[in-house]
Amino acid sequence: MKEVGIISSGVLPLPAIKGGAVESLIDEYVNYNKEKKKIHLTVFSIYDKRLNEVKTESVDYLYFNNNIFLSFFDKVISLLQKTFFKNRNAITFKNLLNRLHFFLKIRKYIKKHDFDLLVLENHAAEYLCLSSKYLQKKYNQKVIFHSHNVPAHYKFFIKWISCTKAFYSVSSSLSDMWKSVLFKNCPNTDFKVIKNGVDLDAFKPIDDLEILKKKKKIYSIPIDKKIILYAGRMVESKGVFEAINGVRELDDNYHLLLVGDYYYSINVKNQDSKRIKAALSTIEGRYSFTGFVDRKNMPLIYNLADVVVLPSIEYDAAPLTLVESICCCKPVVATNIGGIPEYAKDAGVVLLQVDQDLSKNIAICIKKILSNSAYYNNLASKSFSSRKKNSSSDYVLRYENMLFESMG
């Protein structure tokens, strides 16, 4: 049986008890492989006290604890970031030293043990696991990189990237982006696409009105209002301000449901927090905020909404929120940016340009969708028709094909 190692970011644990789109997608394949047992998997993850070590015949989770000494200095670095680098992404500095420690622990392990293939999931920093001439030779053309986001920080690790057999991205636009920045350094590397998918048995329309009413009560959502859902990280790049301002353009019959946190369930404060509070004060009494919601409860959340907004204002490769909304047959108002159009095609999604009128146009689209039943039903019907192409059962087969193809 082939030995495959999946290396995670060292930020969120696996299984995905604290959320994370990448982590949730890893879980999809791990659970599939538990049943099929075609590959022996080793999944490298940061440890979390909520986890129990999971071992089966076909997968081992190898957990690494944060170092207490390094944790102290990570807090110092985080404090310095908040003081001197307020405009920088706070998650970049989150557990910085412990993540380096995590990757070096993995490096030590893969040096002693043999793998037919290593899968680096999404973060270029994971190439630190291969930061020696010995490992570069040992795993030359036995490494694939599975990208979910724009190329970031890759220049720091460029000398170790050349051992990569293939770069797999979640959208064609992202694949083209990676190819443009790495082609000179990786002339023999393939650049391919593997699209995301979700569990259609979980993410589906729910017709039980009584259950939906009870859930609305739990989340303090008014029963007699039209619910606009924003589900995602509470950061400027995801368009949270555009969502808030869009609802402000509407009358009191519309209610905004905000689901998420700055970085999933991790307690990281960011520069947008105060601004978000200020923006929400302008629609006081017209929004509900749940904070982080476990993914197993997200199908119900989508079904509480009348329409979903996904107003990303910066490149978004393939937001899982979009796929989940489509599979729950909810009309979506999204932006025409990144890989979103690839997933939105013929799927009941209204695409808007990112410009100074975005918030106003969001409001106009929401009003049109929810005031015209024929238009609403047409969008919902298109979503239903496109559900099957977004299934996790197809996704895991694509992922499996990615692994076997890379191993020859």
What CATH code is carried by the domain that includes residue 52?
3.40.50.2000
Closest CA to 383 of 324, 341, 309: 324
The SS3 call for residue 166 is strand
Q: Look at the chain and report how many structural domains it folds into.
A: 2
> What number of CA atoms fall less than 13 Å from residue 55's CA on the CB side?
3
- Asked if the structure places residue 91 within a domain, the reply is yes
Peptide bond into 222 cis (omega under 30): no
| Cα separations in angstroms, 12 against 17, 95, 248, 385 | 8, 11, 34, 34
pLDDT band per the 50, 70, 90 thresholds, residue 124: very high
pLDDT band per the 50, 70, 90 thresholds, residue 55: low
Q: Domain check: are 292 and 366 in the same one?
A: yes
- Asked if the structure places residue 113 within a domain, the reply is yes
Q: Domain check: are 78 and 100 in the same one?
A: yes
- What does DSSP assign to residue 309? E
Q: Domain check: are 244 and 186 in the same one?
A: no
Q: Domain check: are 240 and 101 in the same one?
A: no
Q: Domain check: are 344 and 263 in the same one?
A: yes
Confidence (pTM): 0.92
- Asked if the structure places residue 202 within a domain, the reply is no
Q: Domain check: are 260 and 158 in the same one?
A: no
Q: Domain check: are 171 and 224 in the same one?
A: no
Q: Domain check: are 242 and 138 in the same one?
A: no
Closest CA to 227 of 372, 366, 327, 325: 366
Q: Domain check: are 287 and 371 in the same one?
A: yes
- Asked if the structure places residue 295 within a domain, the reply is yes
Please give the single-letter amino acid code of residue 66.
N
**Which residues touch 81 (CB under 8 Å, ≥6 apart)?**
88, 90, 93
Tell me which of 92 and 30 has the higher pLDDT: 30
Average pLDDT of 267-289?
Answer: 85
Residue 402 is part of which domain span? 3-197+392-406
- pLDDT at res. 357: 98
Q: Domain check: are 240 and 307 in the same one?
A: yes
- Asked if the structure places residue 301 within a domain, the reply is yes
- Asked if the structure places residue 96 within a domain, the reply is yes
Average pLDDT of 310-321?
Answer: 97
pLDDT band per the 50, 70, 90 thresholds, residue 27: very high
Q: Domain check: are 118 and 244 in the same one?
A: no
Average pLDDT of 249-253?
Answer: 97
Q: Domain check: are 17 and 81 in the same one?
A: yes
